[in-house]
Amino acid sequence: MKIQCLVVDDEPLARRLLQNFIQKTPQLQLVAVCNSATEAESYLLDEAVDLIFLDVQMPGTTGLDWLRTLEKAPLIVLATAFPEYAVEGFELQVTDYLLKPFSYDRFLQAVNKAAYLLDLERKNTQAESKVGRRLLVKVDRKLFQVSVEEILYFQAYGDYVKIFRTRDKVLVTKDRLSKLENEIDPHLFMRVHRSYIVSVNAIQYMEGNQVSINDTLIPVSATYQEHLKHRLEQG
């Protein structure tokens, strides 16, 4: 499974270097490049990533200041020309600290460290996953227990999320899709579009940039097409 990564850096040369390094690393998939913390924060409202390559000194909010505001941060690799932020970075539990200019070999060390941590996290998630596990969602003033085995897909709907199930009516909860994504098993569900997360086992077929679930066609963004094809081929 590829590591979904985001680059956040205001320097064009630094962004291009990271893009080149990521593109030549098979286990990585670059999902977006942002030139400020504000832009990155906006992106993360709708999308989830595994790893962020983050500059420290940027106009407006610095990388470290922004990192302190994240409630549940992905893995972070700081990439900066300033060594004096190393201690502060590791106090914020960053995965690694790349001092510019850095080589591809040093970049790979950071990637391998992140891959190891992600693999541990995924194995722990898989071990904790139980048949019949339920997702708690608030609908109006009621708290519903929803069996994940009944969920077909999630659809972002403005400030709400629609939960489509194999039975009963659609549930509409006031929540963010990205928050629910962090609460479900990534071995069972996959984001295929900024507005959709689907149950992989519920997919009837994939054709072009769409999948069919319960005879409903759901769009698949170009970002996720290869990953989804791989998941389906692996069974």
Cα 195 vs. chain centroid, distance in angstroms?
Answer: 13
78, two tokens? 């700081």
Whole-angstrom distance, CA of residue 147 vs CA of residue 208: 30
Those residues with Cβ within 8 angstroms of residue 102's Cβ, 6 or more apart along the chain or in another chain: 79
Looking at 2.40.50.140, 2.40.50.1020, 2.40.30.60, 3.40.50.970, the CATH number of the domain 134-234 comes to: 2.40.50.1020
202, two tokens? 């519920």
Looking at 3.40.190.80, 3.40.50.2300, 3.40.50.970, 3.40.1280.10, the CATH number of the domain 3-128 comes to: 3.40.50.2300
Whole-angstrom distance, CA of residue 166 vs CA of residue 154: 12
Count CB atoms within 10 A of the CB of residue 142: 8
Whole-angstrom distance, CA of residue 148 vs CA of residue 89: 37
Give me the residues paired with residue 7 across strands: 33, 53
pTM of the model: 0.57
Name the residue ranges covered by the structural domains of the chain. 3-128, 134-234
Query: Does residue 124 carry a pLDDT above 80?
Result: no
Q: What is the pLDDT of residues 30-78, one digit of tens each?
A: 999 999 999 999 999 888 899 999 999 998 889 999 999 987 889 999 9
212, two tokens? 């069919």
Torsion of CA 219, 223, 226, 231, to 10 degrees: -70
Query: Does residue 131 carry a pLDDT above 60?
Result: no
Of 228 and 131, more confident: 228
Whole-angstrom distance, CA of residue 5 vs CA of residue 49: 6
Torsion of CA 163, 167, 170, 176, to 10 degrees: -10
Whole-angstrom distance, CA of residue 96 vs CA of residue 182: 23
CB neighbour burial string for 167-183, b if at least 16 within 10 angstroms, e if fewer = eeeebebebebbebbee
Q: How confident is the model at residue 130 (pLDDT cuts 50, 70, 90)?
A: very low
Query: Does residue 123 carry a pLDDT above 80?
Result: no
Backbone phi and psi for residue 200, each to the nearest 5 degrees, phi listed first: -60, -40
Measured CA to CA in angstroms, residue 53 lies from 18, 64, 68, 132, 212 at distances of: 8, 12, 15, 37, 35
What pLDDT does residue 233 have? 83
